[in-house]
């Protein structure tokens, strides 16, 4: 009876891993998650598939040292130098939380990040508006400077002309008297 339960559990595990793989492919193709995140999750699914195969081999008493394989499956694997992402040390903050509480905490963190991103977006929008206003003001100031330059040039031309007239009148007055 235990063998039947183990066999059906292994089969169910294989089916669930396959469903997980299909859902992951769908999530990547519909861009619900990024390609980088999809690759990371695909590596985790591949690790699950490998462990599933090891469990099946261990159940059938195949492969080298079945007892060693059984203990290593749950203790982080027999591979050297490869860390198991499932066995990372959990933080004190989340250690006592259940699944629903963890999900609520993740939602709260995501909401806080969204609020921060919204605030950042409004700050950037305000800076953009200020930049555009500064640009408009500079355009107006440049127009004023151009007008002043034209007026100064016109005044300078008239001043030179008047100075020539004065010199001519002065020259005529000295020649007459």
**Residue range 146-153: mean pLDDT, rounded:** 95
Checking if the pLDDT of 74 tops 70, the result is no
Q: How confident is the model at residue 78 (pLDDT cuts 50, 70, 90)?
A: very low
CA-to-CA distance for 73 and 64, rounded, in angstroms?
A: 13
Lowest-pLDDT range of 29-33, 41-45, 89-93, 164-168: 89-93
Q: Give me the torsion for CA of 87, 92, 94, 98, rounded to 10°.
A: 90
């Amino acid at each position: 009876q235990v063998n039947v339960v183990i066999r059906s559990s292994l089969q169910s595990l294989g089916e669930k891993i396959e469903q997980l793989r299909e859902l992951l492919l769908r999530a990547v193709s519909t861009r619900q998650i990024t390609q980088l995140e999809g690759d990371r999750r695909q590596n985790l699914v591949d690790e699950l598939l490998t462990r599933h195969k090891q469990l099946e081999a261990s159940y059938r008493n195949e492969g080298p040292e079945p007892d060693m394989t059984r203990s290593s499956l749950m203790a982080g694997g027999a591979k050297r130098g490869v860390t198991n992402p499932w066995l990372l040390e959990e933080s004190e903050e989340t250690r006592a939380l259940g699944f629903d509480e963890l999900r609520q905490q993740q939602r709260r963190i995501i909401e806080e990040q969204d609020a921060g991103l919204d605030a950042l977006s409004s700050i950037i929008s305000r800076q953009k508006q200020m930049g555009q206003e500064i640009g408009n003001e500079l355009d107006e100031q440049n127009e004023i400077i151009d007008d002043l330059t034209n007026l100064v040039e016109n005044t300078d031309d008239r001043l030179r002309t008047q100075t020539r007239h004065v010199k001519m009148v002065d020259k005529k007055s000295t020649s007459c008297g």
